Structure 1
Amino acid sequence: MSKNNLVIYIISDSIGETAEQVARAGISQFSLEEYEIRRFPYITDRQQIMEMLEEAKQEQAVIVFTMVVESLKNILIEEADKNNIPWIDIMTPVIDSMSKVLHNSPRREPGLIRRLDERYFRKVEAIEFAVKYDDGKDPRGLKKADLVLIGISRTSKTPLSMYLAHKNVKVANVPLVPEVPPPKELYNVPSKKIIGLTTNPMKLIEIRQERLKALGLKHEANYASMDRILEELDFAEEIMKKLGCPVIDVSSKAVEESASIILEIFREIGYKIGNGK
C-alpha cells in the first residue's frame, strides 16, 4: 500500500454506517489520490472476524470498527494486534465516557440507533398525518388512520390528535356539525377505531366564549349559546350511537389524561395502534 493508496475495512456488528462516516471525515483531511472503503456489516462470530482480518492483512488495510458486543470487540483487537493490522475503535471511548458520567452500564446491543431512528421517523409520519387529516380536511384519510376522533367544536380533537401523534399514532379527526352530514367514509371505519368526544355544556360555553373573545367577536354569537351547544351535543350523541363507538367526556380532563384513557380503551379491546409506542 502506497502512502496515497488507502484501503479501509469498516467492521460492525450492526450496519457500520457510523464507522464509515467517521472514516470518511478522517480521510477528508488528507490529499489522497485514491482510497477504498469496504464495509462488513452484521458481524456475529469469530470465524467472520478471522476471515476479514486475513484479507485485511494481505491488503495492508486499516480497520475502523464499531463493535458493541464486548466479546467480538476483544477478539477483533486481539487478532488484529497479532497480525500487526492497525485498528481504530470508534465506539468504546464514547461508551466508556458516557458510562462514567451516567454511572450506568451500556446495554451492548448492536443496532439500537437504527431502532431509535425508526421510532423517530414513525413519529414524524404520524405528526404529518395528523396535520393532513385534521378537522375532516380529507375524508380519504379515515381508512388509513389508526384512530379517528369525532366530536363537536372545542372538544380537543386537534390537541388530542397531535399528542397521540407524538406517540406514533396516526389520528384523523372529524368535526360533527348538525348542518353538515358526516362523511360517508366515516361509516366504513370499524367502530373499534373510533372515539367520540363529548363535554359538559356549561364548560363548553366558557371555552367558546373565550374563543369568541380572542377573535374579537361578541359573546352573544350563536356559536356560544346554550341552545346551539345542546343542539350540537344531541346531534353528536346520535351519530356516536349510530357508529357504536366508545365516548369519553373531556370537559374536566387535560389532553394527557384524555389520551391515556383513549389508549387504555384500545388496550382493553385488544386493538393495537401506533407502532413502537
Structure 2
Amino acid sequence: MSHRVINLHLVSDSTGETLNSMARATLARFEDHHVIHHRWSLIRSRLQLDRVLEGLQHEPGPVLFTLVDRSLRHGLEESCERLGVPCLSVLDQVVDLLQGQLGARAREKRAAQHVMDADYFRRIDAMHYVLSHDDGQGTAGIAEADVCLVGVSRSSKTPTCFYLANRGIKAANVPIVPNATLPQELDEPPCPVVGLTIETNALIEIRRHRLRLIGASGVRQDTNDYVDHDSVKAEILAARRLCSQHGWPVIDVTRRSIEETAATVLQLMEAWHVRRGRAPGAAPEDPAAAVLGVSQPRLEPRE
C-alpha cells in the first residue's frame, strides 16, 4: 500500500479540543500515512470563516467541523461542495440520537462545555492544590485530597496528578524514598492511596534523561544509586512491598500513557468509595462521581 499525504482541516467555533481528540484517536489507526493538520479554532464570524476557506482552497483536504451557527455551517458546506472536498459535522449524529431519546432540541450554543461554572472553578482549585502538594509538599494537606499517589522518583506521579486536576480531582503525591519514612498522614489516609510502579530498565532510562536535562551528565552513572540497575531494582521492590503492607493497589505505568493511568486511578477511587458504603454521586463534592460504572482495573503490565 502506497503512503499518502493529505491535508485535514479541523474547524471549530470553540477551542477545537473535541476535534483534536477525535482526529488523534482516529488517525492512530492509520500509522502508514501522513496527515497535515490545519487547525482553525474560534471561528465565529464570516470574516474568520473566509480565512478558513482561503486556506482550504490553497491546501484542499477533508474537513471535520463543529460549528453551531447555521450560516457558518452552510457557508462551509457549500464551499466544500464547490471545491469537491468531503465535509463532516462530527457531532450531528450524536446530537440527533440524544434529541430522539430526550425528546428535546439541543441548544444552539457554542462552547457550551467551557462555561465558568462550579465545575470549572473546581478544576482550577484542583490545579492549585496539585501545585501546592507536589512531590511530598504540604503533607498536612493530604486531609483535603481526593486521592494520593505514591511511588519512586520519576514514576509519573506529577503528570498524572495534573491530568487528574483537569478533571477536578485534588491529587497529592508522595515520593517513596529509600530509607525515608512516609508522612504520618498516610498511616490512616482519609482518601484512596494508589501506588505507581515501573519496570527497572524503563525507570533507569527516564532517570538518565532527567540527569542530562538538569546538567548532571558529569555524575558517574555507573556508581550513582539513582541510575544503578541493582539499586533501582531494589528501590522498586521496596516500594511495592511498602504498598502491599498498607494494602494500597499498585499500577504498573511502564506501558501506560498518562491518560490510561489516570483512568485506572479514577476506577480505583470509585471502588474505594463503594467499599465504604458511599454510592458514587451520593456526595456532591465527590469528584469520582464523574466516572461511569465500577470495574476492576487491570493492574499488571500490559502486553
Q: TM-score range by the shorter chain?
A: 0.5 to 0.7
Q: Which amino acid aligns with 1:246?
A: P
Match of 1:236 in 2: 239
3-state SS of 1:237 partner: helix
Match of 1:189 in 2: 189
From the two aligned structures, give the one with the greater helix fraction.
Answer: 1
Structure 1 residues 193-240: Cα deviation after superposition (integer angstroms, max 9, x where no partner): 110111101111111111112222233322111122122112212221
Match of 2:211 in 1: 212
Equivalences, count: 178
- Measure the CA separation in 1 of the matches of 2:270 and 2:244: 22
Q: Which amino acid aligns with 2:122?
A: R
- Measure the CA separation in 1 of the matches of 2:70 and 2:272: 41
1:177 and 1:235 in contact (8 A); partners too: no
Cα 1:128–1:254 shift into 2, 3 Å: same
Match of 1:274 in 2: 287
Asked if residue 257 in structure 1 is aligned to residue 260 in structure 2, the reply is yes
- Say what the alpha-carbon RMSD is for the aligned residues: 2.7
Structure 1 residues 220-276: Cα deviation after superposition (integer angstroms, max 9, x where no partner): 322111122122112212221122111100011110111111112233444554277
1:118 CA drift (Å) = 1.1
Which residues in structure 2 correspond to 1:1-277 (within 5 Å)? 98=69, 101=72, 105-107=105-107, 116-190=116-190, 193-217=192-216, 218=219, 219-220=221-222, 221-271=224-274, 272=280, 273-274=286-287, 277=290
Q: Which amino acid aligns with 2:186?
A: L
1:184 CA drift (Å) = 0.7
3-state SS of 1:223 partner: coil
- Measure the CA separation in 2 of the matches of 1:119 and 1:143: 21
Match of 1:72 in 2: none
3-state SS of 1:224 partner: coil
Give TM-score scaled by structure 1 length: 0.58
Gaps of 5+ in 2: 1-67, 74-91, 96-104, 275-279, 281-285, 291-303
Q: Which amino acid aligns with 2:128?
A: E
Structure with max Cα Rg: 1
- Measure the CA separation in 1 of the matches of 2:188 and 2:129: 19
Gaps of 5+ in 1: 1-96
1:98 CA drift (Å) = 3.4
3-state SS of 1:173 partner: strand
